[in-house]
Structures are given as C-alpha cells and as structure tokens.
Amino acid sequence: MEQIEDASLNFEYLGGGVTPVACDDDTGRRQFPFYVLVCNEGMSSRVEREGGVTAVQDGECYLIRKGEVHRLRVQTGKNPVSIWCHFRITLLHGMDLLDFFELPEKFSPPASLLIREACRSLTEGVPESGIRRLLARKHAGLTLVEAIASACPEREDVAAKLGDLRRLAPALEFMGSHVAGKVRLEEVASRANLSASRFSVLFRQAMGCSPGVYCRALRLRRAHELLTGGATPAEAAAALNFYDVFHFSRCFKRHFGVTPAEYLRRRRERTLPF
C-alpha cells in the first residue's frame, strides 16, 4: 500500500534539561497535553499512573502519554540526575505520530541509553543563533522520536489507519491550516472528495472523534503553544478568534483542566526537573 511519506510531520520542543534532583522530589498528581520523557541517571524512581505503578531503575527511562494523569517520585540515588523533555510529535498537523506504536511502561538498556543520549542532545549544546537553534532542535527532536519508535512495535491496525489517513490527508491539512477560523463540515469534506456524512463516519473511524471535536482540539493546542511562547491569555484569545478572554478561559479549562492563568502560574513556579 502506498504510504504517506510526504505528509507534514512536526516536532515541538516544549522544555527540558539535564537537572540534579533530590531523593524526595515529588510532582504530585498532574496532567499535560504533551509527552513527558524522563531518563534516570544515578537514581531510581516511581511512576504512578491510573493503570498502576512502575518502578524505574538507574539507566532506564519512561514516557508519560499526553493527557495521562500521573505522579513522579524520586526514591533513591547518589548524585541523581534527571534528563527530561516535554514534546509533541504530530502528523498532518494534529494526529499523534506515536499513536501508531505500542508504548511500554518503561524503556530499559540498550534502548533507554539511545533515548537518553538523544534527549541529552535535544536539551544540551543547542546553538544560540535563532535559526541554527531551530534547525538543531528539529533534528535532535526527530532523532529522539526515532529512538523511541525503534524500541516499540507498531500497532496491529497501522496499515488500515494509514489507508484512512491517506484518504483524509487533504482535509486534515486544511483543518490544520485554519485553526483560527470557523470551517464548514461540507467544505472540509470536499477536500477529501467525500460527502459530509461519509466524511464524518470515516473521520470518526480513523481519528476516534468527530471533525468538530478535532478542530476544537487543534485550536486549543495552538492556544497552548501561544501561551507557552509568551503570549498572554488575551493575546491568545484574540489570535484564535475566541469571543472574548472569558470564553477562551472556559474552553481552555474544559480541555486542559486548568485556566490559562493557572497554567501560566504553574509554568512560572515549576521547579521540579520533570
């Protein structure tokens, strides 16, 4: 089957570092709209998810899925260090690339060592120049995702999912490039040469949600990007054509669990190296 190698693939780096930790560091319960990768160096830790608890030893690493409620605790270690980053990797503007893979609870050597070095390259030694920094981060980010994906088996439904995506690709590209404006279902469906009803059925099968829900998620993810990049809630609301900042705040909280102001406060006060 023809693949979609020419589809848009985007890596977003949202933060990271190589940071000393204390043996009592505890994040508390939290949830993020992006991946959290943590590599243990000289320490053991405990990862609490809704599905259970995972013990992570020195030299191992783990990946918290976007939207996953979790709690991270450092347990023991001599001169413990956390090598970590927050990121997104999306195909066709909005589909999570790692959804094509079966992600394990944790990664162990030798895979974890390759992932750790890729994460270190992403967070350390990045050029100061803006354009060179962009290029270095994109290259390092894709290298990191490749290291993660290489350690994971593909899901059984990948072939069928790729076929659906190839059919929907023009519509997904259109939706991804119009996050700030309202688009009619008929207009989106026409991009894939489908009727609105057939498009809705196929879209839900491939993406797991309705086109409307997907568009709202794209819009709010873009809002999150703007806030992370330094925009105020009012600026993000205006850029994405929300009715007003109060409407934006309600939508943001419904999607992410916190208001834009609370998100920015937590980001400013974040001291734990995860």
Rounded to an integer, the average pLDDT of 160-179 is 83
CA distances (Å), origin 6, targets 2, 9, 74: 11, 9, 42
Range 52-67 burial, b when 16+ CB lie within 10 A, else e: eebebeebbbbbbebe
CATH value at residue 129: 2.60.120.280
Same domain membership, residue 50 and residue 137 = yes
Same domain membership, residue 177 and residue 144 = no
| Distance from C-alpha of 194 to C-alpha of 42, rounded to nearest angstrom | 55
Same domain membership, residue 112 and residue 182 = no
In a domain, 254, yes or no: yes
CATH value at residue 232: 1.10.10.60
Are 164 and 205 in contact by the 8 Å Cβ rule? The answer is yes
Same domain membership, residue 242 and residue 117 = no
Rounded to an integer, the average pLDDT of 73-79 is 88
3-47, pLDDT tens digit by residue? 456 667 888 888 888 988 888 888 888 888 789 999 999 999 999
| Distance from C-alpha of 234 to C-alpha of 239, rounded to nearest angstrom | 9
Residue 93 pLDDT > 70: no
Total domains in the fold of the chain: 2
More confident residue, 153 or 268: 153
Same domain membership, residue 88 and residue 20 = yes
190: left (phi over 0), alpha (psi -120 to 50) or beta: alpha
In a domain, 2, yes or no: no
Q: Which residues contact 26 (CB under 8 A, 6 or more apart)?
A: 71, 72, 73, 74, 272
Residue 60 pLDDT > 60: yes
Residue ranges making up the domain that contains 142 = 9-150
The pLDDT confidence band at residue 1, using thresholds 50, 70 and 90, is very low
Query: Where does a domain end: 150, 168, 196?
Result: 150
Query: Where does a domain end: 150, 171, 196?
Result: 150
In a domain, 274, yes or no: no
Rounded to an integer, the average pLDDT of 265-270 is 71
Are 96 and 89 in contact by the 8 Å Cβ rule? The answer is yes
Q: By mean pLDDT, which of 91-100, 176-185, 195-204, 233-242 is the weakest?
A: 91-100
184-226, pLDDT tens digit by residue? 899 999 998 999 999 999 888 888 789 988 888 888 888 888 8
115-165, pLDDT tens digit by residue? 999 999 998 877 777 788 888 888 999 999 999 999 999 988 777 777 777
Predicted TM-score of the model (pTM): 0.78
Residue 166 pLDDT > 70: yes
